[in-house]
Chain A
Amino acid sequence: MSLEALLPSAIDGLMLGFVYGLAALGLTLIFGVMKVINLSHGPIIALGMFAVFILFSSFGVNPYLGVVAAALVGLLLGIAIYFVAVDRVIDATELTTLLATFSVNLMIIGVATVIFTTSPRSIDIDLGALRAGNVTILGTHGVAVAVAVLVAAALYGFLFRTRTGKSIRAVANNRAAAELMGIDSRRMLALAFGIGTALAMTSGALLATLFSFTILSGGTYELKSFVIVVLGGLGNPTGALVGGLVIGFLEGVLTVFLPVAWVPVVEYVIFVAVLLLRPAGLLGARA
Chain B
Amino acid sequence: MRDLRAPFLPALLVFIAAVAAIPIVSNNPSLREELFLVLMLVTLASSINIIMGYTGYVSFGHIVFFGIGGYIAFWLMQTFNVHFLLAAIASAIPAALIAALIGIPILRLRGAYFALATVGINEAMKSFMTNFEPFGGAIGMFFSFSIYLQYGGAREAAFLAYYTMAAIALATVATSYVIRRSKFGLSLMAIREDQDVAMLVGIDPARAKVMAYVISAFFPALAGATFFFKNGIIEPGPAFDLLRSIESLVMVVLGGIGTVAGPIVGAALYEWLRGFLITNPTFANFQLAIAGLLLLLTVLFVTAGLVGSLRNRFPRLRAYIQ
Contact = CB atoms under 8 A, between A and B. Distances in A.
Interface of A: 31, 35, 37, 84-85, 88-89, 92-96, 98-100, 102-111, 113-114, 223, 226-227, 230, 234, 259, 261-262, 264-265, 268-269, 271-272, 275-276, 279
Contacts, number: 128
Given A226-B120, A227-B120, A94 B292 contact: no
Contacts of A272: 106, 117, 120-121, 124
Nearest to A96: B299
14 contacts: A102-B292, A106-B288, A106-B292, A110-B290, A113-B288, A223-B123, A226-B119, A230-B116, A259-B131, A264-B123, A265-B131, A268-B120, A268-B124, A275-B120
Interface of B: 52, 58, 60, 105-106, 108-109, 111-113, 115-117, 119-121, 123-124, 127-128, 130-131, 138, 246, 249-250, 253, 257, 285-293, 295-296, 299-300, 303
B109 A110 contact: no
Nearest to A258: B131
Contacts of A234: 112-113
Contacts of B257: 95
A110 B127 contact: no
A276 B299 contact: no
Nearest to A275: B117
Contacts of A99: 249-250, 253, 295, 299
Contacts of B286: 110-111, 114
Given A110-B291, A275-B109, A275-B117, 13 more contacts: A37-B112, A37-B115, A85-B296, A94-B111, A95-B58, A98-B115, A107-B296, A110-B288, A110-B290, A114-B289, A234-B112, A272-B106, A275-B113
A107 B119 CA distance: 21
Contacts of A98: 58, 60, 112, 115
Contact of A275 (B106, B123, B127, B290): B106
Nearest to A88: B300
Closest CB pairs A-B (n = 9): A110-B289, A106-B292, A110-B288, A268-B124, A107-B292, A103-B296, A264-B127, A103-B295, A271-B120
B293 A103 contact: yes
A104 B292 contact: yes
A51 B291 CA distance: 24
Contacts of A104: 292, 296
Nearest to A235: B112
A109 B300 contact: no
Contacts of B249: 95, 99
Contacts of A265: 124, 127-128, 131
Contacts of A85: 296, 300
